Structure 1
Amino acid sequence: MIRVLFVCLGNICRSPMAEAILRQKAAERGLSDQVHIESAGTGHWHVGQPPHEGTINILADNEIDASGLSARQVVEEDLDSFDIVVALDAENLGFLQTLRKQGQEVEVVRLLDYSDREESDVPDPYFTGNFQEVYDMVDEACASLLEEVENEWL
């Protein structure tokens, strides 16, 4: 089983969106029992809360199940228990790299590394309000990420 963790700032917008999207894509390809997907935030502000209403709405608009999503904070042990940790922007990537201990084999990447877009960071719709733009970016990159997981890891 490959374990994937998405990480953003508060774990209520971008990372739970990515978690739900990748879960659905994995299910559609019959990979649900081979790919475990979670999300977390670098901050503690929303721990235990459901995703932002904008995230829930955009997922519902695209017929993606958002049930069971609840914010949590990333912890050091996540870098031991996940194979791929995917940051949604440079700030979160930097935070994850400071948590990473020498010798840990976890792959720490940025989500838009799996995209042909010019941007390198997924903007935070908590501040921009543009959930559709973020959905489009995340959906596209998750498709490429799953392709790599299927070809390189499974």
Structure 2
Amino acid sequence: MQHVLFVCLGNICRSPMAEAIFNQLIKERHLTDQFTAASVATSPEEEGNHPHPGALKAMRAHGLDASQHRSRPITAADFDWADVIITMDHSNVYNLQRMAPSAADREKIKLCLDILPGRAGQAIDDPWYTHKFELTYQELAEALPAWLDALTTA
């Protein structure tokens, strides 16, 4: 079983969207016996909160429901659990590299859009600030099938 961990700042916008999309992909491809996904925050600021209403609306528009999700910050156990840690922006990468218990854990940290040709080094902007929740959804919906393909063949 491969464990995929999605991380953003507050775990109320991008990472819960990524978790929901990725879990839907593994169901559609009948890979639930090979993959599992979760999401966490780099900050404890939103701990216990539901996803942002804009994120929920974007997910609902695509048939996904994350209304039961609650934000939580990353722990050392999450680094142990995860086989790959997919982040949304450079700040997430920087913070996770500082938090990672080991060099092996730092190697797990990846930037989400790096998987797409021509998008390496690009961030998925935080829709909490931009209010572009549908754009965030679309960027994730483009990148995550490529991540699943890469992880399936790895």
TM-score, normalization by structure 1: 0.92
Give 2:126's aligned residue.
124
RMSD, matched Cα = 1.5
The answer to whether the aligner puts 1:38 opposite 2:38 as a matched pair is: yes
Moved more, 52-61 or 67-76: 67-76
> CA offset at residue 65 of structure 1?
2.8
Q: Deviations over 1:4-63 (max 9, x none)?
A: 100000000000000000000010000112211000011112111111111110011011
Match of 1:99 in 2: 99
Show the counterpart of 2:146.
Answer: 144
Question: Matches of 1:122 and 1:131 in 2, distance apart?
Answer: 11
Q: What is residue 16 of structure 1 aligned with on the other side?
A: 16
Among candidates 112, 133, 136, match of residue 134 of structure 1: 136
For the residues of structure 2 that align with 1:72 and 1:114, how far apart are their CA atoms? 26
TM-score of the pair, normalised by structure 2: 0.92
Rounded to whole Å, the distance in 1 between the matches of 2:102 and 2:55 is 35
1:86 match: secondary structure = strand
Task: Tell me, in whole angstroms, the C-alpha distance in 1 between the residues paired with 2:70 and 2:100.
Answer: 24
Contact 1:14 1:88 in 2 (8 A): yes
Separation (CA, whole Å) in 1 of partners of 2:74 and 2:117: 28
Q: What is the Cα deviation at residue 149 of structure 1?
A: 1.2
Question: C-alpha separation between the residues in 2 aligned to 1:134 and 1:55?
Answer: 9
Using the TM superposition, give the Cα deviation of residue 77 of structure 1 relative to its aligned residue in structure 2, in angstroms: 2.5
Check the 8 A contact 1:79/1:104 in 2, yes or no.
Answer: no
Q: 1:48 is matched by which residue type in structure 2?
A: G
The runs of 5 or more residues in structure 2 that have no matched partner are none
Secondary structure, aligned partner of 1:79: helix
State the secondary structure of the residue aligned to 2:76. coil
Unaligned runs of 5+ residues in structure 1 are none
Pairing 1:1-12 to 2, within 5 Å after superposition: 1-12=1-12
The letter for the 2-side match of 1:144 is: A
